[in-house]
Structure 1
Amino acid sequence: MAANSYFVPGYGISRAVIQNEIRYHCGPDAIVRPYTHQGRDGFLVTTSGPPLTKAQIDDLKISSREYEEKQSRRADEADVFVNQPVPVSQRIRRSG
């Protein structure tokens, strides 16, 4: 069977979650990558299996919310401020 590609809007869907769960929903050959379609950010799904249903997309959104909440709790436990500046070493330009 030939592979089909289609766009899934990314609102409410975590990249880590969709990449982890896409094969469960669409078959072992399914791949997903970030994609922008008509100015909207989302994902391009390529699979020879069935396309995601509305219920499966809703499940991905629920899993994404749980994943993001878990990640934020992990950050809180580590006492990390998400938007804290991180020092980056820069090469010094030498004139001459």
Structure 2
Amino acid sequence: MFEAVSDGDSLDWKEISAQEIAQRVTSKVGPGSIVLFHNAALHTPEALPTILEQLTQEGYTFVPISQLILTGDYSIDHTGRQCPC
């Protein structure tokens, strides 16, 4: 499971088509984006190869969420940002 695109999520949970999921994600992703996909979404497995291929061609790389979470004395505010305590 990944986290949110800059304005929300992939909307894959609404059972939109794989093409719509791919278009939504690739048009909204930007540097530092974390994309949310739901494990049980119907068309996500079909959309992922297109998304990964296009974003790789655009120079994006993919890392596990564990590499993005800061260690140390941090809390997470209401917007999801990590803030020093």
- Shorter chain as denominator, the TM-score bin is under 0.3
Provide the TM-score with structure 1 as the length reference: 0.25
Structure number with higher strand proportion: 1
| Higher Cα radius of gyration | 1
Q: Using structure 2 for the length normalisation, give the TM-score.
A: 0.27
